[in-house]
Amino acid sequence: MPKISQEIKNTMAKTKIIPVATASKDGMPNVIPFAFVKCYDDETLVLADNFMQKSMKNLEENPFVSICVWDTEGNQSFQIKGKAAVETEGKVFNETVAWVKEAMPQLSPKSAILVKISNIYICQPGPDLGKEL
Amino acid sequence: MPKISQEIKNTMAKTKIIPVATASKDGMPNVIPFAFVKCYDDETLVLADNFMQKSMKNLEENPFVSICVWDTEGNQSFQIKGKAAVETEGKVFNETVAWVKEAMPQLSPKSAILVKISNIYICQPGPDLGKEL
Domain ranges in chain B? 6-122
Contact residues, chain B, for A29 at CB < 8 Å: 21-23, 29-31, 64-66, 81
With a cut of 50, which residues of chain A have pLDDT below it?
A: none
pLDDT of residue B40: 96
Torsion angle of C-alpha atoms A48, A53, A55, A58, degrees rounded to 10: 130
pLDDT at A90: 97
The CB-side HSE value for B14 (13 A sphere, CA atoms) comes to 18
Q: What is the pLDDT of residue A6?
A: 95
Taking the C-alpha atoms of residue A47 and residue B104, their distance in angstroms, rounded to an integer, is 35
ipTM: 0.94
In terms of DSSP bridges, do strands B111-122 and B44-49 run parallel, antiparallel, or are they unpaired? antiparallel
DSSP 8-state class, residue A100: H
Topology of the domain comprising A6-122: Pnp Oxidase; Chain A (2.30.110)
Question: What b/e readout covers B1-24, taking b as 16+ CB neighbours within 10 angstroms?
Answer: ebebeeebeebbeebebbbbbbbb
Nearest chain B residue to A129 by CA: give it.
Answer: B51
Q: What whole-number distance in Å separates Cα of residue A84 and Cα of residue A38?
A: 14
Q: Considering Cα of A41, then A122, then A87, then B76, what sign does the dihedral take?
A: positive
Query: Are residues A115 and A22 in contact, defined by beta-carbon separation less than 8 angstroms?
Result: no
Mapped onto helix, strand or coil, the DSSP state of residue B117 is strand
> Which residues of chain B are within 8 Å of residue A118 when distances are taken between CB atoms?
none
Which pLDDT belongs to residue B1?
80
Q: Choose the closest CB to B25 out of A17, A19, A27.
A: A27
| B contacts of A81 (beta carbons < 8 Å) | 28-30
pLDDT on residue B93: 97
Task: Identify the pLDDT of residue A50.
Answer: 93
Q: Which residue ranges of chain B lie beneath pLDDT 50?
A: none
Closest partner CB to B26 (pick from A27, A50, A77): A27
Chain A hits for B19, CB-CB cut-off 8 Å, are 19, 21, 31, 33, 68
Q: Among candidates B57, B121, B45, which has minimal Cα distance to B84?
A: B45
> Given this model, what pLDDT does residue A125 score?
87
